[in-house]
Structures are given as C-alpha cells and as structure tokens.
Structure 1
C-alpha cells in the first residue's frame, strides 16, 4: 500500500536534481509502492450519528479454532462471495499472522468448492510468475519465497498456503495459479520475457529483450539502494536508462502480433512486457500509463483476459477498498476493478485492535526488508477499531451496507509495511463505501518469520 505523505517530499528534491518532469501521480504510485505510515493525522470529518453502534443481529461471530470451524462460521459470507469473478481479501496491516491465516482458509474454500483458480499477490507480476513456475517441483519453499516474494509475504502463514496449493495442484486437473499484479522491480520482467522466448523457440525478439536488462537492473539497484542512507543515486543516468528501456519495450510491444509464440505464451509475454513498461514509465515523462492502483487492476484484468477463470487477490485494505483514502491520494485498486468487472467484484476488509504486527524500518519494499515484531498501540478514541474492540466478541464479520452504520464516518487504522500504529496511521472512512464485508479479530500477532 502506498501514500505520498512520508516518502514523497524527499523524492521531489531528488527529482529536481534529475530535472525530469515526472507526473505527480506516478511518483506517488512508484515511489510509495507500499503504505509506510502516513504523517498526516486522521482527518477529523464530522458525522451526524457518531454514536451509532452495530446492531447485534448484523454481527456474525466466527471461529478461528481450526479450518472446519472457521469454514462453518463464514458459510453465508462465502455464499455471497462465490458468485463474483474477482475477490479482494484485504489486510489492515502487512504483517499480521491471523490475516494471512483467514485469507488462506477463505481462498481454500473458494478454490475447493467455488471454482476459483487464481491467487494474486500485491507483489511483482513476473517475480510471482517465476515462483509459480517452480512451485510444483521445488523442495525448498523457503528459498523460493525469499527469491520471489517481498518480505511482507515471507512468513510461515503464507508458506502454509503455498504448500497447500502445491499439494492441491498435484491431485487436481484444474490447477491453481499463483500470480502477482504489482511492478516494484523490473529485472524479473526481463527474465520472464527471455524465458518465454526460449520456451517458445522464437528468438527473433531476444536481442531487443536482452538490451533492456541493463536498464532494468540499474533501476532496481537504485530502488533497493534507497534503503541505504549512504547510497548515492545517479539520477541523470537513471532517467536516461529508464527512457531507453521504456522505448525498447514499447517497440517490442508493437511486434507481439507477428511473434511466432503460441497463444498462451504470447499472452504471458504481453503481461510481462506491459508490467515492464509500467515500471519504467514513472521515470519517462512522455508516458501516461496511469496510477499504480489502476495498473494493478489492469494487470489483474490482463491475467484474466479471455478467460472463465476466477481470481482471489491478497493486498492491503487501502488498495482493495472500492474508494480511495487520504483525500483520494492513496489506493483505489478496488474501484478500478469494479469498472473492469462490473458487478463482479467483492472485497473483504480485515482489521484488529490489539497485539503485535510485523514491520520494517526500510522505506522501499524489497525481497530483503528486515521484518520485526512491533506492539499495536491502543485504538484511538472514536475509531472503528475502538468500536469493534468493544463489541465483546473476539472475532466476527459484518456487511457494512446492511447496517445502520453504512455511511458512518470514523477513523480506521491503515498500517502498511512500516512500524507505526499511532494516530498518524488513521484515515476517516465509510466502511459501507469501501468494503462489501469487514472481518475483525480483536487480538492478533505478528506474522511468523520463515523458519
């Protein structure tokens, strides 16, 4: 999840040194690739009926005892979800064990019983493609995850889901595909293009694809280097190489129709190339690719193009919500998905109030961010988190639009991959406008690091 509030100002200075005319929305999208706690205090919007509470009949208690108990307790929710083509499973923090666990269980139900066959991460599209290619044959899930997933996904809870998918695929003809819909790093995109050309035995485009490797690698180096305060980026060279990379990718895109690749490989080639252009675009002022959330939605649509498949997306609440947050500066993937899949998108938000969560002090998301456990601060007065914490239930879900609190405006906590959970991480929102359903777990724990 991303916001400009913390990371944007320093980058604007760097941009000035670069003398590149970057469009503001793309700077926001690319530089703040994940939400790193906003320095903007929760907006104090007024609400006429701020004392409204949830009706008891609207709250559905859930069991976290085990998979079967959980499955029985969310049966009505699954019934409503299952008729949609795309399901968004949000997370209130990028580092809470229980959020990974319940999303794995919900995904399992949807796959086993409702025909869903894609699980997509808020992670680089091509990196996850490489993971999916090796999932069935690997004997080392830890290494596979560390090589191809950002640190926020490198935990035992996500590993349990991947292990289940591996086992499921070994026993069923209809396979589950693990995908990515984001574009933080670029080298994996070039490597995916090269792998597809090699597999399709079409070497015509190979020289042009290989020529992008230097630009992609350099842009990745700068991105990762920003986590080191001593790193000095050559912004002028970055702008030059990113422009060259984009222009080459754009040229290759025009040649795809005449490629000899088989239709399936050609479709995957198009996905990787589009992702590569999206990554280069923020550093090339003549492009107009769109903001990050629209691009993630477009990637999901590209993966499902001409397909009867059904997708489950794992990402932050702020992305998957149907409305944007922080004065429309953050999120909105869900809103774009609604436009791309009219009446065919359902989003579940998740939240918590107490316990611990995993976060990193790094400002740029990578596959090597150090993740540590941090204590959740007490929910602020008047917030959704406080309201839910006081219901007397340890875990439950409800459908905001079906309650008297449908349009109620209250602060909700949005913790990304940063380490803060104070008042600066709140924004005032209407849950009825953002989510079709919301699942709350009163006490949660930091995600478990890979063993």
Structure 2
C-alpha cells in the first residue's frame, strides 16, 4: 500500500468536537498536551486547538493553558479568565491591550471566543480550582522588570534595592533590547550580577504566602526569571545562529515546569505553540544546526507516555502575516503546498476536508509515518512568492508528533487590531516562529 492509500485509511474526518474522541482517548492520563500550528495566522488551527482544549478542561480536569506569548500580557488575560477582582470582566479587553508586535498572535477573535468560554467555565468552579491562562515566552524584559518593581514596592520594600540595581543597569538603553544587546557584545556579563541578586532576593520570600491567593509572589518570581532569560537571549541574538533559539525554548520549557509545580500534584497542562516549538526537534533537520525545542525537552523531562504532541498543517488558503519584521499585517494567500510534501500527500488522499490522524504506539512501523516529508512552517514574516523555496521543515511525522490535524483549505484568523504597532523585537531564529 502506497503512502497516499495509507494516509487515506488512517485519517478520520473532522467536522465537530465529537470527532476528536480518538485523540482524547489517545491523551488518556497524560499530564502535558502540546498543540501546534503550521502558522501563527490561521483560524482553523486556533479553533481546533480551542475545541480540544475545552474538552480537556471540562471533561478531564486540565489545570492550565500555556501559550507562546509574553508573560505580562497573558497574565492580564489570566486575571480576567479566573475572575480576579479589578480585572476586566470581558477577556477581550485584556487582549486588546496587547501592544508588542505581532499582536495578532493572541489578540484575535478566535482567542477571544476561547477566553470568554474559559471565564464562563471558571465561574462554575471554586477559586482554587480555576483554570489559568499563561504566557511562556522570554521577550518581555522591561515589562517584567517594571512588574517586579511594582510588586516589591507594595509587598517587600526591604528587597527593592536589588530590583533598582537591575533597573539602573538596563536604564541607559531606553527600553531598547537592540541597544542593550549591542552593548552586551562588548561586556558579556553586563547586568547579569544584578539580575542574579534580584532572583535570590525574591526566592528568599518563597515560603511567604501569596497575597490574595492569586499567586502574586509566583508571578513576581516568574517576571524575574524572564529578566534573567531575556538578557541572555538578547546577548545571544546579536551573535546569530541557534543559541538564542535554544535559550528561548529552554526558557519556555522551564516556565511550563514552574507552572505545573505551582498548580500542584496532579496538574495537567495544555500548550499552544508553533509546530517548530512543540514538534520534537529530533525528528527534523533542526538537530543538524544544534537546535532543541519545547517538545523535545518535554519528552526528555517527563517521558513520552506523559506528553502528547499534536501537529497541525494546511494545504492552501489564506493567512495573517507580514512581509517584514515589524511591518503592517495583511491577509495573504497560502499557495498550494509543494509537490511531494506532507501537505500535498494529505490533500491528494483526503481533498477538501479536515482530518485527524492518531498515530499507533509504534508509528515508524507504518511506512508513511516513518518516511521523511517536507512539512510546511510559516512564521509571522511570510512571502508567498518564495514559499516553495523555504517554509518547509524535513520531518519524520510519526516521531515528531503523536497525532496530526490536517486542515486542507484554511482561512486567515481575525485580528482585533486594525493596525499593528510599528515597534517590535528583531526577527527570531528561524524566521518569526
């Protein structure tokens, strides 16, 4: 049986949340479920992730949703969905406040729909069992530093001096990460001692009760970890290569572990990130340039039986992206997938349909799951005219994921902001994922 016939026989038509039953059974008792996306701007990926996450939360008691977003911005959404006093009653207001480019990744109508559902669900639960929404990323150096200062002023003024020392070290760069990164090229240890002292001071308060029961001390410590991770990330970024990528993915994997520990024994988490972060790097060519990712680290730390990874892909349609880093957002065409690619094979096997594939316990015993395919990967920066010369990651599907969702024809998601901010971080490695 050829690959097309194998794909056709393995796929399950995906039309409603009930069609996710085989995947829910595959997840079983796993504590971590990592849900990918082939682009940051495709409506179907967000909607199917939301459908599955609703079921995991409502039917199987999952504790938290962690996304490829900034901690401070996502914490505002978290406060809204768990119902903290003074937080917006409508999570849409918290999402509208996202300002770092690209805002559309999380400030979009698809996420609004899910966040509103999560708030309604949480309103039926006691405060200590409400499901959180958290960001895993490392970019928010200055926002996180300001958040630590605010926390210490209110809760531990005796520790404020260590935070002020870190602030004074970063202050000359005018909250410009590029300026800091360039200066750090010549003084690699710049600001590192100040940040270490800040973390140590916060950790002396580890045994203190969190004011109000909403994890304020944990949030402050996480912001301090971001300051530490971000200053390492920006120093590595100016040197180029894979080091900054690895710093970022180690930080996201560490943050996920901190969250699981904070939620306590038996916690279960859902992660929403790009395929390049959640799909095990060892099943791709990422390893040839020394790259690791969250999916690989999660499997290594927690075991393959306790981690379920789901990839997502599309054959053609439209996407929200930009022609350049920090540029205006627009709806772009996604051309038909490269001939011979995974997405082309799936389109030929199951045309014009969404389909779910749940892999067997020994997927590499099945030819198509053990074969090497080009697998589409679109970042926030995208050029459809050059699509067939880039935007593909060689992948052994059955080793990279435990299941796969193919959306044959897709539509761009719906951003909340009509105009993107003009400022933004420099391009990440690789392109904008």
Question: Which bracket does the TM-score occupy, shorter chain normalised?
Answer: 0.7 to 0.9
CA distance in 1, matches of 2:174, 2:2: 46
CA distance in 2, matches of 1:362, 1:127: 23
Match of 1:350 among 277, 292, 312: 312
Match of 1:333 among 291, 294, 307: 294
Q: Deviations over 1:5-37 (max 9, x none)?
A: xxxxxxxxxxxxxxxxxxxxxxxxxxxxxxxxx
Q: Deviations over 1:277-326 (max 9, x none)?
A: 010113558xx996322221111001112622211110000100112544
CA distance in 1, matches of 2:371, 2:188: 45
Q: Does 1:296 align with 2:255?
A: no
CA distance in 1, matches of 2:166, 2:186: 12
CA contact (8 A) 2:317 2:409 kept: yes
CA contact (8 A) 1:271 1:303 kept: no
Identify if the C-alpha distance between structure 1 residues 428 and 162 changes in structure 2 by more than 3 Å, giving closer, same or farther: same
Partner of residue 159, structure 1: 112
RMSD, aligned α-carbons: 2.8
- Residue 157 of structure 2 aligns to a residue whose secondary structure is coil
Q: Does 1:405 align with 2:360?
A: no
Q: Does 1:147 align with 2:97?
A: yes
CA distance in 1, matches of 2:171, 2:138: 14
Partner of residue 193, structure 1: 148
Q: Does 1:59 align with 2:20?
A: no
Structure 2: gaps (5+ residues): 237-242, 418-433
Match of 1:111 among 57, 60, 64: 57
Shift in Å, 1:241? 9.1
Q: Deviations over 1:212-231 (max 9, x none)?
A: 345557768434xx7xxxxx
CA distance in 2, matches of 1:218, 1:80: 52
Partner of residue 396, structure 1: 355
Match of 1:169 among 104, 122, 145: 122
Identify if the C-alpha distance between structure 1 residues 60 and 51 changes in structure 2 by more than 3 Å, giving closer, same or farther: closer
Match of 1:203 among 136, 143, 157: 157
CA distance in 2, matches of 1:246, 1:127: 25
Identify if the C-alpha distance between structure 1 residues 258 and 280 changes in structure 2 by more than 3 Å, giving closer, same or farther: same
CA contact (8 A) 2:37 2:313 kept: yes
CA distance in 2, matches of 1:123, 1:283: 17
Structure 1: gaps (5+ residues): 1-48, 64-69, 227-232
- Residue 312 of structure 1 aligns to a residue whose secondary structure is strand
CA contact (8 A) 1:243 1:283 kept: no
CA contact (8 A) 1:301 1:340 kept: no
CA contact (8 A) 1:130 1:148 kept: no
* TM-score, structure 2 normalization: 0.80
CA distance in 1, matches of 2:220, 2:255: 13
Q: Does 1:84 align with 2:30?
A: yes
CA contact (8 A) 2:71 2:140 kept: no
Shift in Å, 1:85? 0.7
CA distance in 1, matches of 2:174, 2:132: 26
Of 322-331 and 204-213, more deviation after overlay is shown by 322-331
- Residue 354 of structure 1 aligns to a residue whose secondary structure is strand
Looking at secondary structure, tell me which structure has more helix per residue.
2
Q: Does 1:250 align with 2:211?
A: no
1:353-364 map, 5 Å:
353-363=315-325
- Residue 252 of structure 2 aligns to a residue whose secondary structure is helix
Identify if the C-alpha distance between structure 1 residues 428 and 291 changes in structure 2 by more than 3 Å, giving closer, same or farther: same
Partner of residue 180, structure 1: 135
Identify if the C-alpha distance between structure 1 residues 122 and 442 changes in structure 2 by more than 3 Å, giving closer, same or farther: same
Identify if the C-alpha distance between structure 1 residues 236 and 94 changes in structure 2 by more than 3 Å, giving closer, same or farther: closer
What number of residue pairs does the alignment pair up?
Answer: 382
Q: Deviations over 1:230-260 (max 9, x none)?
A: xxx5765465898443321101222334337
Of 145-154 and 333-342, more deviation after overlay is shown by 145-154
Q: Does 1:212 align with 2:174?
A: no
CA distance in 1, matches of 2:185, 2:108: 35
Partner of residue 126, structure 1: 72
CA distance in 1, matches of 2:415, 2:138: 24
* TM-score, structure 1 normalization: 0.77
Of 256-265 and 438-447, more deviation after overlay is shown by 256-265
Partner of residue 44, structure 1: none
- Residue 171 of structure 1 aligns to a residue whose secondary structure is coil
Shift in Å, 1:333? 1.0
Match of 1:261 among 208, 231, 253: 208
